[in-house]
Amino acid sequence: MPQITVDYSTSLTDAFDRQGFAVALHAVVVETAAAKIEACKSRFRPTVDTVVGAEVTGHGLVHVTLALLAGRSDETKLLLTERTLEVLRAYVKPVDGVVLHASAEVRDLDASYQKFVD
């Protein structure tokens, strides 16, 4: 915990500093949601096909899902999504001809969540 998943359009691959974003986001999660830095894990999933409305070109998407152990208030979750988008803006450079659509959500991990480190 937290488990962070970032889906992003491949049209943003060269413009998105994913490693820098992850490191900066982990610090924000620690500060905002009282997580431990060593517990923050991020993975990035490129998406090849992106369609917005009826348009199949000209759009790039980034969606960040932050899954945390239950117990954070709705206010904390809202603040974390707002801060996530602020950090994201700093790590995705504009791409000519591409409109960036960015979003974030915080959800609670299911009570069945378990892990091990080997």
pLDDT in tens, 79-99: 999 999 999 999 999 999 999
User: How many domains does the chain contain in total?
Assistant: 1
* 68 contacts 1 by C-beta, under 8 angstroms: yes
pLDDT per position in the chain (118 positions), as tens?
A: 799 999 999 999 999 999 999 999 999 999 999 999 999 999 999 999 999 999 889 999 999 999 999 999 999 999 999 999 999 999 999 999 999 999 999 999 999 999 998 8
Q: Does residue 40 form part of some domain?
A: yes
- pLDDT for 39 equals 95
Q: Does residue 113 form part of some domain?
A: no
- Residue 25's domain spans which residues? 3-108
Cβ-proximal residues to 87 (8 Å cutoff; 6+ apart), any chain: 21, 24, 25, 28
CATH number, position 40 = 3.30.429.10
Residue type, 86: E
Q: Catalogue the long-range contacts made by 46-55 (C-beta closer than 8 Å, 24 or more residues apart).
A: 46/8, 46/9, 46/10, 46/13, 47/7, 47/8, 47/9, 47/10, 48/10, 50/9, 50/11, 52/99, 52/101
- pLDDT for 46 equals 98
- pLDDT for 80 equals 98
Q: Does residue 91 form part of some domain?
A: yes
- Tokens at 72, concatenated: 């954070």
Give the predicted TM-score (pTM) of the model. 0.95
